[in-house]
Amino acid sequence: MTSVPTPEPWPLSHLGVDVGGTNIKAIVLTEIDGTPTVTNRTECRTLGETAEEILAQIAEIALGLAGETTGVGGLGFSLPGAIDRKAGTAGVMPNLPGSWHDLPVRSIVEDLVGLPTSVVNDARAFTLAESRLGAARGLGTVVGVTLGTGFGGGVAINGHLHEGASGFAGEIGHQILAIGGERCGCGNLGCAETFVRTQTLLEATGLPSVHAIFTQAAQGDPVAAAAVNSYIAHLAVALANVHTLLCPDAFVIGGGIAAAGAQLFDPLLRQIRALITFDHPESVHLRPAELGSIAGAIGAGLLAMDGVEPRIA
């Protein structure tokens, strides 16, 4: 009896595109020896001035990468704002130009690209990527935290996003810390993000950048130090609340402000632990993100990989 050789399977790849206010990052994710691996990547400026132009740019970048790749199974893309994952529609996008509310973003991009497409919030994409392939791989319950312009987040359990009944779970930056507080970009008053965002640091100090604020704070400037202390104190309360609810194995912290390193992580961990009453304080763990600026694109690609029936191009 002769054995028939099994044909070499096509490499199955998925595309991930992460849209930010300044740049769009895109990657090709190919499963190699069972591990999703970035096999191609590109980055460019966000050029569109309307929602439709930005969605067309996403499609153009995806088609460019697909043209260089054999066997693309699908596309995932992330946007920096509210996404109704079930409906495939967008909500408020504070950091992108154009009118996004109720726009069927998933079907618009899917029609342009001709591939099965999924859409996700950018911080959720970050969380998925870090929980499966990055700083929290192998852990059970993971909370992703992105600290940049705003305060994003997400929850992953055993390497999959926990999105809740409606699909919106994980907006940890929009828990309310101050009743009747300052107006947040989401419309509510006193959200954690009104304290934990770049704009609040810049306004409190008059300094030109977050880097300058953390540097001046480290050198003992009292105004900069007070702004940094307030940022960390509010972030600690927000994460202590999340810990009380979820007792995660770890928080994975990324975004531009995480670059402050020990100046952020050491007091933050100390303060969260001081706020924990119904768990052992040493159960709180913070990990710096590992996947860098393409984490969101990787997460969007992973979502496409999970949700799309593989097919050969």
Which stretch in 123-131, 168-176, 208-216, 260-268 sits in contact with Zn ion by CB under 5 A? 168-176
21-53: b (≥16 Cβ within 10 Å) or e: eeebbbbbbbbeeeebbbbeeeeeebebeebee
Among 29, 142, 184, 286, binds Zn ion (CB under 5 A): 184
Residue 59 or 238 having the CB closest to Zn ion: 238
DSSP state of 174: G
Pick from 37, 95, 188, 263: which binds Zn ion (CB under 5 A)? Answer: 188
Q: How far is the CB of 71 from Zn ion (least distance, A)?
A: 41
Nearest to residue 116, comparing CAs of 69, 64, 62?
62
Encoded tokens for 24? 């769009």
For position 238 contacting Zn ion by CB under 5 A, the verdict is no
Q: Does 82 bind Zn ion (CB under 5 A)?
A: no
In one-letter notation, the amino acid at residue 279 is: D
Considering only the stretches 147-155, 177-185, 222-230, 286-294, report the one whose residues sit in contact with Zn ion under the rule CB under 5 A.
177-185
Nearest to 43 by CA among 312, 293, 304: 293
Q: Give the three-class secondary structure for 259.
A: helix
Please give the structure tokens belonging to residue 35: 């591990």
User: Which stretch in 44-52, 69-77, 167-175, 241-249 sits in contact with Zn ion by CB under 5 A?
Assistant: 167-175
Q: Which amino acid is at 147?
A: L
Residue 191 found at the interface with Zn ion (CB under 5 A): yes
Query: Between residues 191 and 257, which has the closer beta carbon with respect to Zn ion?
Result: 191
Which residues are at the interface with Zn ion (CB under 5 A)? 174, 184, 186, 188, 191
